[in-house]
Amino acid sequence: MASVYAARGRPRARRSGPGPAWREPPPHAAGIERDRDAHDLRQHGFGWVAAMGCQPLLPACCRGRLSLLRLRAVSTGLVGALCGYLVLFGPLALVPVVLADSGSSNLTAGLVLTALRAGFALAATGADRLLPGGMSDRERGVLGTVVCAGALAARSALPLTTGPLVPLLALLGLGLGTFIPANNALIMGAIPASCSGTGGGLVNMTRGLSTALGVALVALALHTADDGGTWAVLVLLLVSLLAVGVAWAGPGGRSTPRKNVGQGEL
């Protein structure tokens, strides 16, 4: 296809009048024509190659407009992933600020935040051994979001100091480590195998967006309300309650080992 466009590289000469004489086009005309051809190639050539090749870069299921998002498990799962990752990354911005205002060192803040990561890792790797084998991914997701909402509700009622933060962050990590892998398994299990790369990209995009939103919402709450982080915790609690509703509204799914579905999206 590139050769077809290249054949049009130099414009033909045009008549200058009624006589038989021909004149060369202006010197810049060839450059304009080449730029137009390159634009046509970018707009149509790559799409033609992706769609018509023997092994298309974009399978038919991925070329329709928002076709994957019409799947209930995908649409609700992505909203759940947005809420889950937001609740995961929000405390990473909240806790250091709150503890620094109370006079704690950066080392103390880092050690306190370790409880969140440790709880997440423990639940993500040990949920298959601790939870009943007959629980579906939807049921695991609901359980995880309920645990998250409970931890945030308790944190909104308790002072944000080192003592209460460590167990509550660990409990929050346990809930997120149960919910996020199960939710990602529902998403990836509903997407055709030929579109698994697109599905992974959607989950990664959602994770990046929720990371930015989590930091932004926490920073906004800390800036607008000088209350020691109470409003920020309430914002995270509302997001976790939304995650509970989304997980409950999601489709039921059979129990699937984490090593088979969504392994790279924990």
Q: Could you tell me which residue, 132 or 87, shows the higher pLDDT?
A: 87
For residue 187, pLDDT beyond 50: yes
Domain ranges across the chain: 2-57, 67-265
Q: What is the pTM of this model?
A: 0.69
Which of 54-63, 218-227, 237-246 comes out lowest in average pLDDT?
Answer: 54-63
Protein fold of 67-265: Growth Hormone; Chain: A; (1.20.1250)
- Residues 206, 82: contact at Cβ < 8 Å? yes
Instruction: Provide the pLDDT for residue 118.
Output: 94
**CA–CA separation, 183 vs 185, rounded Å?**
5
Average pLDDT for the chain: 78
Instruction: Provide the pLDDT for residue 24.
Output: 52
Of 216, 203, 212, nearest in space to 78 by CA: 203
Angle between helices 137-157 and 162-190 (to 10 degrees): 160
Mean pLDDT of 195-209: 89
Longest dimension (CA), the chain: 95
CA distances from 184 to 7, 24, 69, 211, 264 (A): 49, 62, 14, 16, 10
